[in-house]
Amino acid sequence: MMLLNGRFGQNKYIEQMKHKKVTFAVFVLLRTIVIGAMVMSGIRGDYENVFSCLWVMFLLLLPSIVEKEFDIYLPNVLEVILMLFVFASLVLGEMGNYYIKFPYWDAMLHTLNGFLSAAAGFGLVDILNENERIKFRLSPLFLALVAFCFSMTIGVIWEFFEFVCDVFFGMDLQNDTLVNSFSSSFLSGNTNALVVVDGIQDVSVNGRPLVTGGYLDIGLYDTMMDLVVNFIGAVVFSILGYFYVKNRGKHKFALHFIPRRKRRKKGKKDEEKD
């Protein structure tokens, strides 16, 4: 909380958010739920969740901080989705165990992350593209490609983070997957030969049964699936972004997700309508 009341004093950001009625309503609702969860966690003595709730409250305010400090306009739809993403990931996913209760919860969030990251990358480059003081003009196709690459880079960096946490801190962010077959050249002792192990029903370690239902893949399938759905989200937005730039003013759907430089006087009304 000190961080929120220090240089990034929360009052001015909350006041700024009040001009966006829907965004502010979502912020108040989510913040109220998080405060309730923090109180309950404190009563139970679960101080890890208390810290997580404090972190979530800061992240819910982060879009407004970015908007004000960097003079960037975040569309209402984008800001609401960002807050819901934080809530779904940290509160429902981690604290509510939705990652375990709903098998596709993680895939959904990674798909959304790919989409939003592409929007962020697209917006950053498009801001430069429209700056009259910078001789910097990119074609719609190249802008879409940059957005795609930016999104995939964010996805890869996140997987690096999960890998580091698992290897060096003994965590399990890269979830295990049960598979019933795999191919390996290592088992043959010859890299030119391939051994196919099929019909796996159980795994034993040192003679002790470890798991039933298949071979325990440690992280690879989870990592690749996360990158695949991130790819899907990035491609979807890159296509939307391409047509947005190619036909400015005609395809406004993408406009709801693209950060852009704040307009002065003339564009102020347009931003309020967004």
What is the predicted pLDDT for the residue at 4? 43
Give me the residue spans of the domains in the chain.
Answer: 1-83, 103-175+219-274, 176-218
Tens of pLDDT, residues 195-237: 899 999 998 888 898 888 888 888 999 999 999 999 999 999 9
Tens of pLDDT, residues 130-189: 665 655 567 889 889 999 999 999 999 999 999 999 999 988 889 888 899 988 888 888
> What average pLDDT does the chain have?
87
pLDDT(272) > 60? no
- Residue 96: pLDDT band (50, 70, 90) is very high
Distance separating alpha carbons of residues 27 and 61, to the nearest angstrom? 8
Q: What is the 3-state secondary structure (H, E, C) of the chain?
A: CHHHHCCCCHHHHHHHHCCCHHHHHHHHHHHHHHHHHHHHHHHHCCHHHHHHHHHHHHHHHHHHHHHHHCCEECCHHHHHHHHHHHHHHHHHHHHCCHHHHCCCHHHHHHHHHHHHHHHHHHHHHHHHHHCCCCCCCCCHHHHHHHHHHHHHHHHHHHHHHHHHHHHHHCCCCCCEEEECCEEECHHHCCCCCCEEECCCCEEEECCEEEEECCEEEECHHHHHHHHHHHHHHHHHHHHHHHHHHHCCCCCCCHHHHCCEECCCHHHHHHHHHC
Tens of pLDDT, residues 6-43: 444 577 788 778 888 899 999 999 999 999 999 999 99
What is the predicted pLDDT for the residue at 274? 60
The b-or-e profile of 125-159 (16+ CB within 10 A means b, else e) is bbbebeeeeeeeeeebeebbebbbebbbebbeebb
What is the predicted pLDDT for the residue at 18? 80
